[in-house]
Amino acid sequence: MNKKSGGNLVGVHALVWAGDTSRESIEIAAKRSSEAGFDLLELSLHDLANLDVPHARDVMKRHGLQVACSRGLAFDADVSSEDRVVVERGAKLLHDSLVATAGLGARILTGALYSALGKYGRPVTERGRQNAVAVLRSLAEEAQRLGVALGLEVCNRYETNVVNTARQAIALADDIGSDNVFIHLDAYHMNIEEDDFARPIRETGARLGYVHVGENHRGLLGSGHIDFASLFHALADVRFKGPITFESFSSTVVAQGLSNDLAIWRDLWTDGGGIASHARAYIAAQLEAAVA
């Protein structure tokens, strides 16, 4: 696509535009993403029941956008649980999400696919982790047949107890043992859990398949203390050519359930268009500077 920056698709999370996946919201998110110069729109599948997949696929094609899908799980559908019924419920939700991803024409399903998205009161148990591995191994086999890759997003300690660092994600991917499972790093979470922004990227290397860029406060890029120069230079060092997607959340746009899970209590912005356009230019500048 002619909008690519340095070979990377540059994306934006749909929550910059709309809090659900109704037909109207999909129309708005796709139109505004395209107008702001993005190549890809990331759709959260937490609102899967309301997503008209054929309609959304047609809308994305009309606006020249590629799609990536993301989600986490709920505590009553947690594949890292020791409760068989809970694990089976989570496996079904992941299956349904994978089918929707393929139906949208997307090739990426990523996020906290391995656990509930929320604060745990204890470490993950060995049995619980084994359950997550078994479910994701089966899901990866199904995804392979559908032409979809699965991303293990590294999230902070307040959103999962299974994968908090790149090294833990690599270990989980090794245990799953599927070629179509990649690592997904996120600047916001790295800022909390990693020692720096470069080492995790270099250690992940060719297994890195997707990157989220967001500030430490989830607001305007460059207005916080994330070391984006270090991050983008490390991406250049490993010759990362995957999607780079902007994430920002504000209580101006609320997704039922998900916004609360992410603890979005503040109005960090009221104009999604303004913050998105700024992000598109900021990412392009960082990519250019990293190879200069």
At 75-127, the pLDDT tens digits run: 999 999 999 999 999 999 999 999 999 999 999 999 999 999 999 999 999 99
pTM of the model: 0.94
Instruction: Tell me the per-residue pLDDT of 21-69, one tens digit each, with 9 for 90 and over.
Output: 999 999 999 999 999 999 999 999 988 999 999 999 999 999 999 999 9
**Separation CA 252–CA 266 (nearest Å):** 8
Instruction: Tell me the per-residue pLDDT of 215-246, one tens digit each, with 9 for 90 and over.
Output: 999 889 999 999 999 999 999 999 999 999 99
Domain covering 10-290 assigned CATH 3.20.20.150 in the classification: yes
Q: Would you please indicate which residues are annotated as catalytic (active-site) residues?
A: 153, 247
Q: Where are the domains positioned within the chain?
A: 10-290
Question: CA Rg, the chain, in Å?
Answer: 17
